[in-house]
Each structure stands twice: as C-alpha cells, then as structure tokens.
A and B are shown apart, each in its own frame.
Chain A
C-alpha cells in the first residue's frame, strides 16, 4: 500500500476508535438517565425518586390483578422476580396487558409504598408463535407440574 493511503487509513481508523471511546464514556456516565424505567428492586431499595414522577417496569404477578370498586380502578403487583411493588391504576389498559406480561407504568409512589400509575404501557416480549403452539406449550407445562 502506498504510504499516503496507509496514513489516511490510519487516520480514519484513529478517528473511528476515538469517537467510539468518547461515546462509550459519555454513555457510561449517563447510564442511569438512559434507563427507560426503574425496576421493582430499585424502588424497594429506595433508588427511585420520591414525590416525583418516574417509570416503573416489571412483570404483572399472576393472580394479583383485582378490580376493587367501580371497575375502572385496577390493582396489581409488579415483580422483577426478586422484589414486588403494588400498583394502582385508573383508566384503560393496553391490549397486551395481562397477568405474566411485562409492563411499564408511569406515576409516583404514595405514602404507603403503593405506586399510583397515571399511564400503563405494555412491554411486548420477543416471542412470536401461533396460538396452537402456545396451547401445546401450556399443556406441556401443566403435565410437567402435575408430575
């Protein structure tokens, strides 16, 4: 390779590596701000902001959804399989909201440690399958549990 080309290639390589390193450190220092939501463990540990709106993400615990009162208010528990946080929400839930589904709620904690949500978004998982496959998976699970 001619020296001039070698030099240009080297310069470009250095530029890309330099920008990569700079971005890496910038993202690392902003890491917490780039998180879209807090996990339930963060909330229980007191890492989430008090008296301020934030987002809470987790899995809806199976069997925890209840509708006390007029039916527009929903109570359920979110978990990240380590700590649980109770959530209360009044309004229309998205299509994908169901027990065992990941969701992201926007709201704040009240005095009793209950998360009062103003908005609930469903977080879709990355699994795609036909209903029949899901049904047979469920049957397998059931027969496994039965043993």
Chain B
C-alpha cells in the first residue's frame, strides 16, 4: 500500500462509506446526465446524419453505432462486475458488493441489445438471423451468465452471503471474456474480425469512426448513471436500519 499516495487511499476509504457515497453520487448525477445527453446527441447526429454510407452495405451499416458500443459494454461491464466482486470477496468492502450486483442488469441489457441488433443486421447482410458460430454463441453465454448472476443474487435472502456467491459465479465466468474477444481470430466464424482494435491499419474510415467512439463514450457514461442509481437504492436497502438513513429520511427523531 506504500506505493499509493495517502490522499488517494483516503479518497477510496471515504468513497467506501455508504453515507458519503450516497451524498456524492447525488451531486454527481446531474453532471453525468448532461455529459451523457451531449455525447449521445453528437454521436447519433454524427453516426446517422454526418457519416457517409458504406461502400458495400449502404445505410444498413449504421446499426454499428448501437451494436458495437453495446457489445463492448457487455464485455466491459462484466469485467467491472467480476473485479468489484473480487474486491468484495477479499477486502469485504460492502460498496464493492453493491457495485458488482448493480452492474449485472445493466450489463445484461447491453448484451441483449448487442444480440438483437446483430441479429437484425445479420438477416439482410449474411442472409440469416442467427448462426451457432463461436462469436455469437459465446456472447449468448455471456447473457446467460448475467442472468445467472441476477437470479442467484435474488435467490439468497442474506445479501452479504448472496454477494459472495455472485462474486464467485462472476469470477468463474470471467474466462468467457477473452473467448468472446478472440473468438473471431481463434476460429472460423461468420462474424467478421475486429475493426477498431486492429492497430496496424485502420479498417474503418475516420468519418465513421469518430461517431462510433462518441457513442462508445456515451454508453460508458450511461452505464455509470444506471449502475450508480441502482447502487444508491441497494445501499439504502442494505443500510435501512442505519442511523444515517434514519436521519436522512425521517429527520433526527427516532
């Protein structure tokens, strides 16, 4: 711990205290919302209006402005969820458990959107709604992992025990993340290879790439908003008998 500056450690200790977290996120929310609206507005305008049509797919390629950021988010959120779960397991930080479980429904939503938009695009372009290739199948497994996490958490009454169980399930499923990412390189798939992460030569024109990155940022901020809102409710529920919650909602009496 001696490598990390003291002020940084103090910040995290304060963040981990539920009343402080609740107050801080309350102040943060309007800012996050404003940033999200700005990003999603400029991203959609750039992607749907300014960006030129594709040389082969015409306008149908524009679904990537939803599909690709959603797919990225489905992987990103799972990683955050598993990491928060691990922190909760090792350091027993309540807030990490809350972040982990609050991420699951948001991640499941993005995974679902990625699957549905991909399917809608696949029918006219590939000629089929769905194929059991490695990329599509592993992404579907990711959706089931998210649903499993949500279900398992709901099935156990003691939420601290539930958090431990969920963290272990999330950590087991983490093995799927590199599989999804590299599936298009390790195996023959119908799904095309990576476009943006290919460093040697950009295979997407810059006029199409900029709105895509804006949308990716917008989705990241949306995740923050949605996850923090869920986390605030979860914190209140867990701390319902704590003094600070009583003070906040029922005045100083009691």
Contacts and interface: CB of A to CB of B under 8 A. Distances in A.
**Same complex:** yes
Interface of A: 1, 5, 8-9, 12, 15-16, 19-20, 23, 27, 31, 34-37, 39, 57, 93-96, 104, 119-135
A121 B61 CA distance: 17
Contacts of A31: 187
B247 interface: no
A34 B187 contact: yes
A94 B126 contact: yes
A130 B54 contact: yes
Interface stretch (B16-24, B172-180, B215-223): B172-180
A134 B61 CA distance: 15
Contact of A128 (B172, B175, B203): B203
Contacts, number: 114
B192 A129 contact: no
Contacts of A16: 171, 174-175
Nearest to B173: A19
Interface of B: 1, 52-57, 61, 64, 86, 89-91, 124-128, 131-134, 168, 171-172, 174-175, 179, 186-190, 192-195, 198, 203-205, 207-208
B139 to A, nearest CB: 14
A131 B58 CA distance: 9
B55 A5 contact: no
A68 B131 CA distance: 30
B191 to A, nearest CB: 8
B219 to A, nearest CB: 19
A133 B192 contact: no
A124 B126 contact: yes
Contact of B193 (A27, A34, A126): A126
Contacts of A123: 126, 190, 192
Contacts of B55: 129-131, 133-135
Given A16-B174, A126-B195, A27 B179 contact: yes
Q: List 10 tightest A-B contacts by C-beta distance, closest first.
A: A94-B127, A130-B52, A134-B55, A36-B133, A128-B204, A126-B195, A129-B205, A131-B55, A127-B203, A126-B192
Nearest to A92: B127
